[in-house]
Amino acid sequence: MTNPAGTATAETAVGAEVIAFRAAGKIFPDGTEAVRDVSFALHRGEFLSVVGPSGCGKSTLLRMASGLGPHTSGEVASRAENVGYVFQDATLLPWRSVRKNVELFAELEGSSKHERARLATEAIRLVGLEGFENHYPKALSGGMRMRTSVARALTTKPPLFLLDEPFGALDEITRGTLNEELMRLFVSERFAAIFITHSISEAVYLSSRVLVMSPRPGRIVAEIEVPFGYPRSPELRYDPEFGRLSSAISHALREGYE
Amino acid sequence: MSEVSGPQVEALSGGGKISSPTTRLRGGGLVRGVLPPLVAFGCFIGIAYLFSYVLLSPGRRFLMPPPHDVVSHSFFRGRNLHEQLGAMWDTAQVSITGLVIAFLIGSTVAIVMSQAKWIERALYPYAVIVQVTPILAIVPLIALWFGYDFTARVVVCVLISIFPIITNTLFGLLRVDANLHDLFTLHRASRLERLVKLQLPHAVPDIFVGLRVAAGLSVIGAVVGEFFFGQGNPGLGNLLNLYRAHLQTDLLMGALFWACFLGIVSFWVTGFLANRLTRNWYEEHR
């Protein structure tokens, strides 16, 4: 299931291309143009953040990447046979325990009971939810629900993660912790990620590259490389270069409005 | 009853004042939860006595028998009690059978409707028609098709109670979060998997809301059915009719009590089951 090439090149910065947008756009049936002329390529081991004003088509971009909401112009070439889609809401099934929730995708894809259990155990360990397997989502905190959601996505070992403001509804401290854990997962699993956020510092901290989008119709107004290596420590946020990158993104965001 | 309710209020709240904070809270909840309906009950009984003894002349007292007569004649005379309990059991059988059939048909219809918008559009008007047709208007048809016994009574029950089951089940099936649907799509779930693993469990609380309303309605349906279709063991509806004909108002009210009792019990049982099944799933909204 895992891409052998990906694991072989785990230590090198970037692996095979996972997805590429070429002048891709999307116009909804009602005539609203959500996304215009977006081009980028993403490889395994790359973490791409997308920042932009509300309603600029960031979520539409993710839906285009997943194939759920196909593009209407240009091209989106995906080599990801499955994607790990994580929403701002944990989207768990309230009638299933943590373990049963994590097993869901493997179950839908027809894995054997034994295989499902193995995948779930591993994913639950990766997100640090051991001991909570039999809890229902109702009994979990927001942060733990989000971990369950991430664990569920991990079970299919996706080469591409699509994260739609996954920590947007969490408090600052939980958000910080989950940022570090996401980074740890990224370093150990070497997937490619498209991460949507409103937080510039979150984007710089996690990403190898940041795309800045304009208001609707969303276009890419800046593409900013983040030159830090992985793993990164939380202290990185106080690095002068971190500040420079943040202000560059902030500047590009403001320019996008004009 | 009305005389004791006054001192009772003072006794309960006075007891609350001297107890510890936690027991005061609990006592306060009890006072707030139980006392108001108790006081209201006392008032109703008082009004009933007012009518029987003050407003009605002895010759017309049968129109509103004093409450203690209702209790002693209906519940403390073996023959009457036996008659009423037996009738309640017959009514219960009709209403439970009707409710189960309404549930099976209603949820199936809702599932079919949930599968495509055009099916929903095709069937929904007929569900509404079933709901708005006065039972009285189709009594002759039911009689022609099903006769005058148990089956006909159950049919009335089903007709009266099916609509809330259809609408609530459909609501629950269709209201699933779009993101969850997307996840099922991404992982290539079949239509059946989507229904069984996502939509149906999601609809469980709504199904129970429908069942709860339908449970009360099915008791009404059974009693109404017994009014029109009285062959076999005709239950409370027939008994009510009989007491009316004999001007036995006290017994009439006793039978009425059992009809209410049956409705409340079925309402309560479905609520209890819903709570048992879904209490781990959702936060309490109070």
Average pLDDT over residues B259-278: 91
pLDDT at B28 over 70: no
Contact A95 B198 (CB under 8 A): no
pLDDT at B261 over 60: yes
Mean residue pLDDT of chain B comes to 86
Q: Please, what is the end-to-end C-alpha distance for chain A in angstroms?
A: 46
| Cα–Cα distance list, A227 to A43, A61, A199, B153 (Å) | 16, 24, 19, 79
Q: Which residue on chain B is closest to A108 by alpha carbon? A: B189
Contact A211, A234 (CB under 8 A): no
Nearest to B225, CA basis, from B86, B83, B104, B91: B91
B203–chain A nearest CA distance, Å: 11
Categorize the per-residue pLDDT at B26 as very low, low, confident or very high, splitting at 50, 70 and 90: low
pLDDT at B230: 80
B187–chain A nearest CA distance, Å: 6
User: What was the ipTM of the complex prediction?
Assistant: 0.87
Percent of chain B with pLDDT over 70: 89
User: Tens digits of per-residue pLDDT, A192-221?
Assistant: 999 999 899 999 999 999 999 988 888 898
Categorize the per-residue pLDDT at B27 as very low, low, confident or very high, splitting at 50, 70 and 90: low
pLDDT at A258: 64
A94 vs B185, B188, B282: nearest CB: B282
Q: Which residue on chain A is closest to B190 by alpha carbon? A: A108
Nearest to A189, CA basis, from A159, A212, A213: A159
Contact B281 A89 (CB under 8 A): no
SS3 content of chain B, % helix, strand, coil (to 5): 85, 0, 15
pLDDT at A159: 92
Average pLDDT over residues A83-110: 93
Considering only CB atoms, which chain A residues are within 8 Å of B185? 68
User: Tens digits of per-residue pLDDT, B215-257?
Assistant: 999 999 999 999 888 887 778 998 998 998 898 888 999 999 9
